[in-house]
Structure 1
């Protein structure tokens, strides 16, 4: 069964559901959990001059990871966490790269929550992970 789970969290209710699901799975299998939050950035500007701008503050990103790790540890799960950074368009590739570096045998992610024009502009991270991952992917949906 699974021994090393990568849990991607984003501070949304979907991220909370990911933590809940991997806590249950890790308790059943004895797996360790590595929590990751990728602090997204986006490129602003045109072809001549552009700037990469973080979408959220570093402290906010760290709070998301710390809360997830604390919850997992509170449930008796061996867990650690990290904040990574990357462009929105690269989030799925970053998660795959980290899972390979960590030797993860399962990646748990929430579904994309963009709609309307945002859904067209931002690629689905969960779809991207499922498409290129060489390990199992658990898509966890929240109640809301």
Structure 2
């Protein structure tokens, strides 16, 4: 079974569902969990510059998401560590796969992307891209509707 799980969380209902599933798997298999939140950045083109990179969330938001996840997992007796990373939206799948490889993870747990409207056409699916690139199993967890 799994020994090291990388759990991607974003503070959404899907992120909570990822934690629910990961906690269950970790308890069953004795796995440790590494929680990661990636603060998405966006390039804003304009004016005389080639583009400006801006974060789409406050700096403390990601830290709060990871801290809450770690408190929950550790409270359930699961060995857990975590981190906040930053990257362009397009880089998120590669960041997740690279971190999983660096940590020796044998499972990556992610929620589905939640882009709507035109954003769904402009941004690739993180979970789909992770599944294509990951050398390990990928668990896609959807929150109950």
TM-score, normalised relative to structure 1: 0.97
- Residue aligning to 1:118: 119
Q: CA RMSD in A?
A: 1.1
Return the offset for 1:127: 0.5
Q: Which runs of 4+ in 1 moved over 6 A?
A: none
- Residue aligning to 2:108: 107
SS in 2 for 1:41: strand
Q: For each residue in 1:49-90, what CA deviation from the matched residue of structure 2 results, as whole angstroms up to 9, or x when unmatched?
A: 111001111101100111111111111111011000000011
- Residue aligning to 2:90: 89
- Residue aligning to 1:41: 41
Which segments of 5 or more consecutive residues in structure 2 lack a partner in the other structure? none
Return the offset for 1:123: 1.3
The whole-number CA distance in structure 2 between the counterparts of 1:48 and 1:123 is 28
Return the offset for 1:10: 0.5
The whole-number CA distance in structure 1 between the counterparts of 2:65 and 2:139 is 20
The whole-number CA distance in structure 1 between the counterparts of 2:34 and 2:48 is 39
The whole-number CA distance in structure 2 between the counterparts of 1:10 and 1:55 is 12
- Residue aligning to 1:139: 140
SS in 2 for 1:56: coil
The whole-number CA distance in structure 2 between the counterparts of 1:47 and 1:132 is 36
- Residue aligning to 2:6: 6
The whole-number CA distance in structure 1 between the counterparts of 2:5 and 2:56 is 26
Return the offset for 1:119: 0.5
Return the offset for 1:114: 1.0
Which segments of 5 or more consecutive residues in structure 1 lack a partner in the other structure? none
- Residue aligning to 2:130: 129
Q: 1:27 to 1:53 in 2, by over 3 A?
A: same
TM-score, normalised relative to structure 2: 0.96
